A = this chain, B = another copy of it.
Amino acid sequence: MTVLTALDYAAVLVFALTGALAASRKQLDLVGFAFLASLTALGGGTVRDLLLDRNPVFWIADPTPLGIACGAAVLVFFTAHLLESRQTVLTWLDALALPIAVAAGVRAASETGQSVPIVLIMGIATGCFGGLLRDIVANEVPLLIRTGKLYVTAALTGAGAYLVVEALWPSEALALAACIVTCFALRAGSLRYGWGLPVYKPRPPRG
């Protein structure tokens, strides 16, 4: 297994854990856990593959990610009660999955020779759509639109870091590392220390 396949699998695993945690908050059964874990873990990459017309979709070509997602579902089903706060763990695992998935998306798009804007978009799409689908299906306010938290911004910056490093050094490993570190640092800093870009502030009502 190459380092790159390992990355793909890691993104699937961590996103699957978040999907299973969302299922635990809805008190679903084991199959419901596996469904939501798989939807979250495979959703972003599936959107990317459909948009790029990559054929077959990655988890149809190799069903290992499906197995990983189901394994993660089983693990969470039997251990989630040990956690103090499932929502906190979900948010932090999501923060860990996002950078890995962005890196996987950027690499997949850059392999197929896409232009810079499309590579950036595919990084964002791969990183963001899994969690977005999870939140929509679980009927929660998407993490992605929470006010004052970096999410798409972290994904975009990570994808940009990949492209900059790859242009300057001929090392894919370094580019992937830069992507993951930058994206995670921004997201984690946002969650932990409130880092953020200025957000839109509506005009205060006139007195």
Contact = CB atoms under 8 A, between A and B. Distances in A.
B60 A124 contact: no
A115 interface: yes
Nearest to A29: B197
Contacts of A148: 27, 29
Contact of A29 (B30, B80, B199): B199
Contacts of A57: 51
A46 interface: yes
A178 B34 CA distance: 23
Contact of A24 (B50, B139, B202): B202
B153 A145 contact: no
A1 interface: no
Interface string A132-161: 100011110110110110111100100000
Interface of A: 23-24, 26-36, 38, 46, 50-53, 55-57, 60, 63, 66-67, 77, 80-82, 86, 114-115, 117-118, 121, 124, 128, 132, 136-139, 141-142, 144-145, 147-148, 150-153, 156, 196-203
